[in-house]
Amino acid sequence: MNLMVINGPNLGLLGEREPEIYGTTTLSEIRQMVLDAVSERAVVKWFQFESEGSLIRIIHRYRKWYDGVVINPGALSHTSLALHDAIRAVGKPFIEVHLSNIHAREEIRRHSLTAMACRAVICGLGPSGYVWAALALIHMTSDLQPAGIAPGKGHEAGKKYSDC
């Protein structure tokens, strides 16, 4: 499997930026956690950009290479319809990740435009959210099924669940 992990603005400062919210783990350490968890099952490309245009370009440029994407758009989650459209346009599974629980934060952070284009959202689990997202994408895009869940029993790829 080919997996891409994309990080948005200010995430390069993890470990020193507002550690009371985002913790002390650096983006480089999170990258290593993901690689340790999935390297036997996936090839991973890792990116971090400060600008919306760069994020959109990378989504477009590698669209024929990756099978799924873990994305932490940072603050662009709450403002970028263009990023939402780029995610939808490629037709591949994306899982949005946030280190903090965005639903327990300021009102402006409680709504994500980009999440509406993603298969799932993981928030509030800190750095391990990236690992869970990568593992979930591996299961979604392979013939492997999580233990106890058979195809056709509520695990169909692409199915939207509105009453969760």
Question: pLDDT of 81-99, one tens digit each?
Answer: 999 999 999 999 999 999 9
Cα angle vertex 31, ends 28, 35, to 5°? 140
Annotated catalytic residue: which of 22, 66, 84, 130?
A: 22
Annotated catalytic residue: which of 60, 66, 84, 98?
A: 98
pLDDT of amino acid 107:
85
Residue 163 to residue 54: CA distance in whole angstroms? 34
For this structure, is 22 an active site residue?
yes
Q: From start to end of the chain, where are the E strands?
A: 2-7, 43-48, 68-72, 94-98, 120-123
pLDDT of amino acid 121:
97
pLDDT of amino acid 141:
84
Instruction: Please identify every stretch of the chain with a pLDDT value under 70, giving residue numbers as ranges.
Output: 143-164
Among the four given CATH numbers 3.20.20.70, 3.30.830.10, 2.60.40.10, 3.40.50.9100, the one describing domain 2-140: 3.40.50.9100
pLDDT of amino acid 142:
80
pLDDT of amino acid 143:
59
The owner of tokens 């080919």 is 2
Model confidence, pTM: 0.86
